[in-house]
Amino acid sequence: MLNIVTVHWRSPKWIGPQLSYLERNVDVPYRVFASLNGIDDRALWDRFHFAADLEGTHAEKLNALAAVVLEQSDPDDRLVFLDGDAFPVRPIAGWIDDVLGSYPLAAVRRDENLGDIQPHPCFTFTTGGFWADLGGDWREGGTWTLATGEETTDVGGTLLHQLADNGHRWLPVLRTNVHNPEPLCFGVYGHRVYHHGAGFRPPVTRVGAAEATPLPASTAWGTSLEGLVRRAARQPSSITTVRPADVPRIGRAAQVSLGKQTRRWHERQRLRRLAATERRQDAVFEELTRDPSFFTAFDDVAP
């Protein structure tokens, strides 16, 4: 038996597509255990083997659902964690069995997210027995260093250290996109699983913020020179009668002005980037509901 754990949060939007792609790409008996937060339609609840409106963080919901699975499963049954906006786009059952013959656990690792190194719950699989023996835990814990030099932690941090502390090798399932319209969203992993990314929230990502371009020097200087020209036109002597004592104050004022320009520039960039990604997300969602081969626009390489 293949047991799938998933979380849908405040929107039923992804339930139909996820279940449809599971039915298309899982050719062994399987059950889906779901946390359906803020989704009151009981007809949708009935589409799952188990459904509940669980409290807590995303990691706590995953842990709680895994505990339910273990109560209803044999140790050799497959345990799959899958984000609500993720699903297989190619058959996965045989591949999962092959991988688990060599590794106790495999998981998406999002190297593209500034070098994240932890197992990511958008797609992770193992056996119920291994998860129970490990005491698997999705909560944040421990830190790692990003490509920017910053320390971070996230969902999967505790699991990362549990695996390392017990000497368990796990298989990273990496992004295989050949086309990336956005650095983190629209990801295909291992040529087999699609993760839309930010399906239940605005698509704000730290890798997107890190890729923001700096304020062009021409913009900053242009604004300053424009003000200087206007001032000179009104009072020509104003640019030739600066007292030495005023120089530090003028420098500080210029720094404040440039800081404001920079913040406005980055905010405009952020809003433009967010709007563009949301438009792409809507278009891709419409496509995936029509065409099961939609993912080949991002990864057309068969495994």
Parse the chain into domains and list their residue ranges: 2-202+292-297, 210-275
Residue 277: closest CA among 178, 191, 211: 211
How are beta strands 78-83 and 120-127 bridged, if at all?
A: antiparallel
Question: Does the predicted model carry a pTM greater than 0.85?
Answer: no
How high is the pLDDT of residue 250? 58
Can you say whether the dihedral through the CA atoms of 159, 164, 166, 170 is positive or negative?
positive
Alpha helices, DSSP H, located in the chain: 15-25, 42-45, 58-71, 93-100, 128-134, 157-165, 206-210, 217-234, 247-290
Q: CB–CB of 122/82 below 8 Å?
A: yes
Q: CB–CB of 267/192 below 8 Å?
A: no
Question: What CA–CA distance (Å, rounded) separates 249 from 89?
Answer: 61
Task: For the chain, 303 residues long, give each residue's pLDDT as a single digit of tens.
Answer: 999 999 999 999 999 999 999 999 999 999 999 999 999 999 999 999 999 999 999 999 999 999 999 999 999 999 999 999 999 999 999 999 999 999 999 999 999 999 999 999 999 999 999 999 999 999 999 899 999 899 999 999 999 999 999 999 999 999 999 999 999 999 999 999 999 997 777 766 666 555 555 545 555 444 444 454 455 455 555 555 556 665 566 556 556 655 666 566 556 766 677 777 888 999 999 999 999 999 999 999 999
Second-level CATH architecture of 2-202+292-297: Alpha-Beta Complex (3.90)
